[in-house]
Amino acid sequence: MCESWGDNVVMARLPHGYTNRTRVVGSFVEKVYDGPDRYAHAQAERVCLSALAECLPVPMIVGGDSEGPSLLLDVLPGSHGQDLLATGHAEEVLRLVGATLRSVQAVCVDDVLGLAGDGSMLVHGDFGPQNMLFDLERDRVTGILDWEFAHRGQAIEDLAWCEWIVRMHHPDANDALDALFGAYGERPPWRERHEAMLIRIRDLIASCERARQPSDWPERLLRTERWSAE
């Protein structure tokens, strides 16, 4: 489904976008931020994409509206990570995810001016194959998307959340988590990873409560609390 918007063609909402509204506008992607924290999220994404354009495969900002708030981004090539996991490419994808996380964490967080938080590491905040594009034929990541939850934090946060995404939404790919940790170069203790998952989910529950929105996060918290190591 599509509609006309000036001289551009506006496509329906893109798949894999759950928190905000994303759609193709001509040859670009328009991202409109929702929720009570939408201005903070838009600012976090703007400062990250501006700072990281020279060192990581992130979309380029070509426009935006601070009142919306919204950003207009260029379209990156590649296949979406969730689609690749669903079609049997978990080991290849998670190996690239682990290596890419090392690249993200190699960025000096002080170079990302205006980023909230008090940690020593650049944290994506929703890191994993669900927010990445891949070219498996060339064995590379072509895009790291959705930086609205980015902040200064700790290294364990993104690694643990990527594991949570796989275990919660792609359990058939659990065996491929070895590839994630192998490429990352470290497998922190389960206790630390599990606690980082629980902290993140509790933050999401609090966000939904502020917005007075029903969510599945309390049920996901209970499920995650019952998980055991590996």
- Confidence tier at 6 by pLDDT (50, 70, 90): very low
Six-digit token pair at 152? Answer: 């200064």
Six-digit token pair at 223? Answer: 């499920």
Q: What is the pTM of this model?
A: 0.91
Question: Where on the phi/psi map is residue 89: left (φ > 0), alpha (ψ -120 to 50), or beta?
Answer: alpha
Q: What is the pLDDT of residues 39-84, one digit of tens each?
A: 999 999 999 999 999 999 999 999 999 998 999 999 999 999 999 9
Q: Rg of the chain over CA atoms, in angstroms?
A: 17
Q: What pLDDT score does 25 carry? A: 87
Domains of the chain with CATH codes = 2-74 (3.30.200.20), 79-225 (3.90.1200.10)
Q: What pLDDT score does 1 carry? A: 30
Q: What pLDDT score does 3 carry? A: 35
**What would the mean pLDDT of 2-28 be, rounded to a whole number?**
60
